[in-house]
Amino acid sequence: MAAAAQPGAVRPGGRTARVREAVLQAAGDTLAEKGFDGLDLGEIARTAGVGKTTVYRRWGTPSALAADLLQDMAERSLPRSRNGDIGRDLRDNARLVVKTLTDPRQGRLFKALIAASLCDEQAARALHRFYAVRIGEWSGCVTDAVERGELPPGTDPHRVIAAVSAPLYYALLNTGEPLDEAAADRAATAALAAARAGAG
């Protein structure tokens, strides 16, 4: 049996698409500025210039709105690299993660969503789906590398891609260490070494 559609999950067109875009833009700006606790649907409607009833009917709760925002972000994210070299592909992935996390708006937005996921089940599920989509997108780099003989047979593509971004998110949330291209390259190099050693 097909799963029921999540609030805001139907892909709209025309005016509905414009309303969704305006609301998600307002939601993202609010999350970046005020955090999840500041995500008030009535205020989002006012900022987006749409009817409050429309926002409540379509999304219903701040959690559902945050979930739709994450879905949209996952769908809009850049596709994976196809360099023909796993080292360059992993480096591109790591640098994209750093670019996103250090963006003045996106970095704060992700911190707010991660914080929300710790106490809101729907936000947690949405964040898990976001990461699953992005890791799934980039895992093709690893699959291709295995086929080219760059990595051992049986290497788990999802574990390798997750290993690239894990230290970068750790730096963002825990250590406060600089997130720059050097950090990205170190993360990619470490993930590649582990994969080549059969740890992936």
pLDDT, tens digit, 9 for 90 and up, residues 85-97? 999 999 999 999 9
User: Can you tell me the distance from the alpha carbon of 48 to that of 59, in angstroms, rounded to the nearest whole number?
Assistant: 14
Classify 77-196 by CATH class. mainly alpha
Q: Which two tokens stand for residue 67?
A: 């979930």
Q: Out of 13-27, 47-61, 143-157, which region has the weakest mean confidence (pLDDT)? A: 13-27
**Mean pLDDT estimate for the chain:** 89
All residues at 6 or more sequence positions from 17 whose CB lies less than 8 Å from its CB, including other chains: none
Q: Which two tokens stand for residue 175?
A: 């250590």
Nearest to 70 by CA among 17, 155, 131: 131
CATH of domain 15-61: 1.10.10.60
Domain with CATH 1.10.10.60 in the chain: 15-61
Domain with CATH 1.10.357.10 in the chain: 77-196
At 174, is the secondary structure helix, strand, or coil?
helix
CA distances from 200 to 20, 98, 130, 181 (A): 39, 22, 21, 23
pTM for this predicted structure: 0.81
